[in-house]
Structure 1
Amino acid sequence: MRLPTELKPRPVPVPVPAPAAVAPVSATAPVSVSVSVSVSWERYFSRSAHAMVPSEVRSLFSVAARPGIVSLAGGMPDVSALPPDTMAGIVADVVREHGATALQYGSAQGDPGLRERICSVMALEGISARPEDVMVTVGSQQALDLLARVLLDPGDTVVAEGPTYVTALGTFKAAGARVVQVAMDRAGVVPDELAAAFRRLAAEGRPAKFFYTVPTFQNPTGATVPAGRRARILEVCRAAGVLVVEDNPYGLLHYDGEPTRALAADDPERVVYLGSFSKTLAPGLRVGWVHAPAALTAKLVLAAESAMLSHSALAQLTVDRYLRTQPWRERLADFRAGYRARRDAMLRALSASMPAGVSWTVPDGGFFIWLTLPEGMDSRELLPHALAAGVAFVPGTGFYADGRGARHLRLSFSYPPAERIDEGVRRLAAVITAHL
């Protein structure tokens, strides 16, 4: 059917506006100019922020990662020993079966099922724990940070081993605390020195708030406190009324026998225990925990809520499923065998390459060897020459609050394969020999 001419649609002309006239700019008219002003942020930072400085370990990471450099610096676990298909399947199962929970907010205290399994893990070290006294954290490092927030006021004193874990020093300093370090020998902190430090601090009117210790395969020395000395340390702390913070990320990485009995196993009311799956599973999951008396756990939960609302439910359920469905004890034995082979490779290389006057520790587990240089040598001055020779280590000064430790350095054997460890030690030995 054809439409009559008068009913056919006709194109409608669209009026196009004429270009707007541009008004001339008056010579006296104000001109808006965007000015970038450099802000001096230092005056805005809090005292806590001013106390934050990069650790010597973290500062080395970017340099140590350069091609051609053998890094004996960072204490990274060998995650290649964990079957990737297994972990992929676990994550897929968690999302498929528990997606509504795994992808949602969770509790600041942590998944109840995972906390039960953490109690089973701690039982291997003699700890009798209840899930309600466990809080899941983002690695054990967050536990340290939360403890500092809950226990420390600016000006408080923390006593620690000398040397000690470098990031703990930074955490306590950022909280405004003073760190006093007590001498160690090959068997860990010396109890008589610890007791003397507590007496001196009390006499000064600055008693210790807590004693921070890594008593098993210590970072950085690799030392382990034997059973008799552990009992004496607990006795000294009880007599002085000082709490103990036991940081134990390496406890299940023992190379012989059974796990060492934890300090928390013998005094759960005064020892706060920090654990982590970073070294025994994977650091990328960022799952650790703190076990503490109920009153302290309640405060830590409140502090965690204010910091981050809740932890990753996906990461927690992944670890929980791994512990429920995988032969994790057998896999731990495989991890230990691999790390022991690396330790032995480093010890052989040190014995074969190092000049006279250099000594080192022999750890029974963990990741680290503590090396002592000949009298008069400084590991900080040695580091640039070592990097130029293609090997990285951590100077000992980073593990002291007052700059001591120049004659020492930390070597990590946990990550490089045995042939790279041998090459790295030979390069380091050549640098030391050249600077004797």
Structure 2
Amino acid sequence: MSASAIRALFAVASRPEIVSFAGGNPAVEALDFEAVEDVVRQVIRDAGATALQYGVGQGRPELREHLVTVMGAEGITAHADELIVTAGGQQALELVASCFVDPGDIVIAEGPTYVGGIGALASCQADVRHVAMDDHGMQVDQLEDLLAELQREGRRAKYIYTIPNHQNPGGVSLSVERRHRLAELADAYDVMVLEDNPYGLLDFAGKVYPSIRELIPDRTIYVGTVSKTFAPGVRTGWIAAPAPVRDKLVLLREAADLCPSSLTQMVVETWFATQPWREQIDSFRDVYREKAEAMLRALDEEMPPGVSWTRPSGAFYIWMTVPAGIDTDDLAAKAIGRRVAFVPGRGFYADGSGGDRLRLCYSQPSPERIREGVTRFGELLYDELALVRAVYGTHGAPEPRARPADPAPSRGQEPG
């Protein structure tokens, strides 16, 4: 196991003089804190003895009923008995990996993909095979080629890991056509799908995409979290899984930490029962839309030629490609000196690819600070390109090592 590139940045990126585009922290300042205080007081006042006691490993039935309603907001059908409450989405990914993966087993994932997903698979010594992405998400034609190749070798992936909505770090969503094709391929090759959906309710236009679970419910393990739609500090996520898988995951859940926190479960449960949570999500959506627009305007104005990036339609992230000759690991260290932070691309691949890629997250800084940070970053990139030209000439910059393609549309291009 190795340290997360994002966590390693936190110590310096949290300094007040640095504009941080690094960690994907939700904008909890947009919450109604008085309402949160009222909910916590209500839980302690009305059910303190229960809230401070052990609970059951699968999670409170009352909370699971509310989480079914949250899934229903995206058109996803589920029953409370199918759900397991976890300590955030990250524990859900760890439990699924522990359930399915033995050392050397193959798991297919988008390239790039979430660093926590890679970490969960690394802890089980999985053989992660990446499938490239473009503006429309995972390239399912390449997925089909990989599945066919594995079949010829007499091997089969344990599951396909996908973040179909406003992907982290790519910032793009899987097209409807490709969702249907992914479901067909999973059926044809007898492979499970792990659908990780932290961001589905954060589409800037309120658009809802069809869930993989709705297409192949008996073959999909669904992971949700309230970290992006309420608060990450309550550490509450969930898994919705077919009964045979659910039973194994409950055993793993109980072995990991016995039971989820009764207190935080009841806070989340009471939040959904008593508060206008849909309106709160609308508020989050408006905040992120404003910040995304501020960053995209600044990038259009400040970035040098040869730099490209995705244009998100929801959530937090922009995925950038820099010209050949610039290594984003080195660039990240220099950026700290310019008082701006981002996450270099290699952390989002299991195979060390992505040396010319990086992730920008706009969820935390104000629009004014976003403009300031992008200006600093643009000045750094201009200086780096001048250095590359001075050393290698206009045509001699080295190409990065081989890597999968991923979402990096041409400058200013809108995603599909």
> Within 1, Cα distance between the matches of 2:293 and 2:210?
25
Corresponding letter in the other structure for 2:331? L
TM normalised by structure 1 equals 0.87
Deviations 1:58-114 (A, max 9, x none): 111111112311100110001111122211111111011111210100011001011
Corresponding letter in the other structure for 2:85? V
- Structure 1: any 5+ residue segments left out of the alignment? 1-51
Deviations 1:164-192 (A, max 9, x none): 00111111011021100011111111111
Deviations 1:302-360 (A, max 9, x none): 10111111110110110010001101111111110011000000000000100111111
Does the CA contact (< 8 Å) of 1:211 and 1:244 recur in 2?
A: yes
Deviations 1:239-274 (A, max 9, x none): 111100000001100101432221111111101110
Corresponding letter in the other structure for 2:359? R
1:255 to 201, 204, 209: 204
- The answer to whether structure 1 residue 375 and structure 2 residue 327 are counterparts is no
> Within 1, Cα distance between the matches of 2:218 and 2:147?
20
3-state DSSP of counterpart to 2:218: coil
2:304 to 312, 331, 355: 355
Q: 2:77 maps to which residue?
A: 128
> Within 2, Cα distance between the matches of 1:266 and 1:123?
15
**Dislocated runs of 4+, deviation >4 Å:** none
2:291 to 329, 342, 346: 342
Q: 2:174 maps to which residue?
A: 225
3-state DSSP of counterpart to 1:85: helix
1:113 to 58, 62, 86: 62
Does the CA contact (< 8 Å) of 1:212 and 1:246 recur in 2?
A: yes
- The answer to whether structure 1 residue 170 and structure 2 residue 133 are counterparts is no
- The answer to whether structure 1 residue 417 and structure 2 residue 366 are counterparts is yes
> Within 2, Cα distance between the matches of 1:217 and 1:429?
25
Corresponding letter in the other structure for 1:100? A
Q: 2:413 maps to which residue?
A: none
- The answer to whether structure 1 residue 394 and structure 2 residue 343 are counterparts is yes
- The answer to whether structure 1 residue 326 and structure 2 residue 275 are counterparts is yes
Does the CA contact (< 8 Å) of 1:147 and 1:300 recur in 2?
A: yes
Structure exhibiting the larger radius of gyration computed from Cα positions: 1
> Within 2, Cα distance between the matches of 1:294 and 1:389?
52
1:234 to 156, 173, 183: 183
Trace 1:54-93 onto structure 2 (pairs within 5 A).
54-93=3-42
> Within 2, Cα distance between the matches of 1:384 and 1:375?
18
Provide the aligned length of Structure 1 versus Structure 2: 385
> Within 2, Cα distance between the matches of 1:203 and 1:70?
50
- The answer to whether structure 1 residue 190 and structure 2 residue 139 are counterparts is yes
Q: 1:137 maps to which residue?
A: 86
TM normalised by structure 2 equals 0.91
Does the CA contact (< 8 Å) of 1:138 and 1:287 recur in 2?
A: yes
Corresponding letter in the other structure for 1:367? F
Which range moves more in the overlay, 120-129 or 335-344? 120-129
> Within 1, Cα distance between the matches of 2:167 and 2:101?
24
2:375 to 426, 429, 434: 426
Q: 2:229 maps to which residue?
A: 280
Which range moves more in the overlay, 194-203 or 125-134? 194-203
Does the CA contact (< 8 Å) of 1:156 and 1:206 recur in 2?
A: no
Q: CA deviation at 1:366?
A: 0.9
Does the CA contact (< 8 Å) of 1:139 and 1:287 recur in 2?
A: yes
Percent sequence identity over aligned pairs: 49
> For the aligned residues, what is the CA RMSD?
0.9
Deviations 1:203-244 (A, max 9, x none): 333321100000100000101011111101111111111100
3-state DSSP of counterpart to 2:260: coil
1:159 to 81, 95, 108: 108
> Within 1, Cα distance between the matches of 2:354 and 2:99?
30
Does the CA contact (< 8 Å) of 1:125 and 1:265 recur in 2?
A: no
3-state DSSP of counterpart to 2:174: coil
2:313 to 344, 353, 364: 364
- Structure 2: any 5+ residue segments left out of the alignment? 386-416
Corresponding letter in the other structure for 1:109? Q
Does the CA contact (< 8 Å) of 1:220 and 1:399 recur in 2?
A: yes
> Within 2, Cα distance between the matches of 1:265 and 1:276?
18
> Within 1, Cα distance between the matches of 2:16 and 2:270?
37
Does the CA contact (< 8 Å) of 1:202 and 1:208 recur in 2?
A: no
